[in-house]
C-alpha cells in the first residue's frame, strides 16, 4: 500500500467517524476538513457506499448514516456522555494544541458510538457549556449533572434561590446554558418569575427539582444569547 492509499484509507475512516458523530455532514465541510476537493469527497462517499455503508443523501442539506446502522460496542448513559462533554470543554482550554487535537478526535469517536438521541444531546451540550477561566479551578456545586439533563431534554427546573442580599425566592426556569467563571458555575435560564433570562449561581441554588414537563426550546445559540442579552 503506497502513501496515497494509506492517506485515502485514513480519510475514509475519518469520514465514517464524522458521519457517525453528526446527524448531517456536507461535502463542502468534509472537503475543507481533509484538505481535498469536493469531487474527491464524492468518490470517497461512493467507496463507502460500495463497501456496504448505508449513506443517505438529503438534497441540498448533506449526508447522514441510516439510523441504527451501527450497533454500539459501548453504551454510555446520558450522564456519562454529558460528563465527557464537560471534560471536552476543559481540555479545549488547554494551551497544548496537540492535546486538544487528540482529545477532539477521541470525543468524535466516543460520540460515534452514542445512539442518535444521545448524540444530538451531546452535541447540543458541547455548544451550551463554556468556561471563562480555569485558575484555581474547583467544583463548588453538585448539581451540574442534573442541570445538564434539563438543558438537553428541555425540562423545566424548580429551585429555591438565595440572591446576593440573602433573600430566598422560588423559581421555575427554562435552563439554557452553563458557564464557568472565576467565581464558579452559572446557570443561564429563562426565569418564569421575572419573565426574562437570568444568571443563577449554582452554589446559591437549593432544593433543585427537574420536572418531566418540557418547555419550547429557545431558537438561538449561546453566542446569539450573548449578543442579545449580555449588555442588558
The per-residue pLDDT for 133 is: 52
CB neighbour burial string for 86-122, b if at least 16 within 10 angstroms, e if fewer: bebeeeeeeeeeeeeeebeeebeebbbbbbeebbebb
Q: Do 157 and 216 reside in the same domain of the chain?
A: yes
Domain-embedded: residue 44 = yes
> Distances in Å between the alpha carbon of 191 and those of 58, 141, 204?
38, 20, 15
Q: How many helices (H) and strands (E) does the chain have?
A: 8, 8
Domain-embedded: residue 133 = no
Q: Do 162 and 193 reside in the same domain of the chain?
A: yes
pLDDT exceeds 80 at position 219: yes
Q: Nearest Cα to 110, choosing from 73, 137, 162, 144?
A: 73
**Distance from C-alpha of 36 to C-alpha of 108, rounded to nearest angstrom:** 20
Q: Do 54 and 82 reside in the same domain of the chain?
A: no
- Decide which of 65, 90, 115 is a domain's last residue: 65
Most confident of the following: 9-23, 46-60, 214-228? 214-228
Q: Do 16 and 54 reside in the same domain of the chain?
A: yes
pLDDT exceeds 50 at position 139: no
Q: Do 122 and 88 reside in the same domain of the chain?
A: yes
Domain-embedded: residue 136 = no
Between these two residues, 142 and 138, which has the higher pLDDT value?
Answer: 142
Q: Do 12 and 48 reside in the same domain of the chain?
A: yes
Would you call 6 helix, strand, or coil by DSSP?
helix
Q: Do 150 and 208 reside in the same domain of the chain?
A: yes
**Residue that is written with C-alpha cell 448513559 in the block:** 77
Q: What domain range includes position 13?
A: 3-65
Domain-embedded: residue 175 = yes
| Per-residue model confidence as pLDDT tens digits over 32-86 | 988 899 999 999 998 888 878 888 888 878 998 887 665 444 556 777 777 767 7
Residue 145 and residue 194 in contact, taking contact as beta carbons nearer than 8 Å: no
> Distances in Å between the alpha carbon of 86 and those of 107, 113, 123, 177, 217?
11, 18, 11, 12, 21
Residue 215 and residue 206 in contact, taking contact as beta carbons nearer than 8 Å: no
Would you call 187 helix, strand, or coil by DSSP?
strand
Q: Do 111 and 182 reside in the same domain of the chain?
A: no
Domain-embedded: residue 191 = yes
Q: Do 150 and 222 reside in the same domain of the chain?
A: yes
Domain-embedded: residue 215 = yes
Q: Do 98 and 173 reside in the same domain of the chain?
A: no
Domain count, the chain: 3
Which domain CATH number covers 199? Answer: 2.30.30
Q: Sign of torsion, CA 78 147 214 206?
A: positive
Domain-embedded: residue 25 = yes
**Distance from C-alpha of 201 to C-alpha of 52, rounded to nearest angstrom:** 50
Q: Do 148 and 225 reside in the same domain of the chain?
A: yes
Q: Where are the beta strands (DSSP E) in the chain?
A: 55-58, 62-65, 129-131, 155-162, 168-181, 184-191, 196-201, 205-214
Domain-embedded: residue 139 = no
Q: Do 158 and 223 reside in the same domain of the chain?
A: yes
| High-pLDDT (> 90) share of the chain, % | 31
**Residue that is written with C-alpha cell 442534573 in the block:** 146
Amino acid at each position: 500500500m503506497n502513501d496515497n492509499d494509506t492517506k485515502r484509507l485514513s480519510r475514509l475512516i475519518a469520514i465514517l467517524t464524522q458521519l457517525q458523530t453528526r446527524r448531517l455532514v456536507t461535502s463542502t465541510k468534509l472537503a475543507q476538513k481533509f484538505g481535498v476537493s469536493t469531487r474527491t469527497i464524492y468518490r470517497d462517499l461512493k467507496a463507502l457506499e460500495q463497501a456496504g455503508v448505508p449513506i443517505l443523501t438529503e438534497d441540498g442539506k448533506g449526508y447522514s448514516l441510516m439510523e441504527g446502522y451501527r450497533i454500539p460496542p459501548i453504551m454510555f448513559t446520558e450522564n456519562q456522555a454529558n460528563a465527557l462533554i464537560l471534560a471536552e470543554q476543559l481540555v479545549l482550554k488547554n494551551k497544548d494544541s496537540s492535546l486538544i487535537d487528540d482529545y477532539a478526535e477521541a470525543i468524535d469517536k466516543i460520540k460515534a458510538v452514542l445512539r442518535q438521541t444521545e448524540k444530538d444531546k451531546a452535541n447540543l451540550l458541547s455548544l451550551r457549556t463554556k468556561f471563562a477561566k480555569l485558575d484555581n479551578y474547583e467544583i463548588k456545586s453538585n448539581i451540574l449533572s442534573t442541570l445538564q439533563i434539563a438543558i438537553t431534554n428541555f425540562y423545566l427546573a424548580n429551585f429555591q434561590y438565595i440572591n446576593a442580599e440573602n433573600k430566598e425566592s422560588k423559581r421555575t426556569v427554562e435552563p439554557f446554558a452553563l458557564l464557568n467563571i472565576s467565581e464558579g458555575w452559572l446557570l443561564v435560564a429563562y426565569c418564569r418569575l421575572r419573565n426574562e433570562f437570568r444568571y443563577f449561581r449554582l452554589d446559591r441554588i437549593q432544593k433543585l427539582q427537574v420536572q418531566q414537563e418540557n418547555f419550547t426550546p429557545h431558537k438561538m445559540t449561546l453566542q446569539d444569547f450573548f449578543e442579545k442579552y449580555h449588555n442588558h
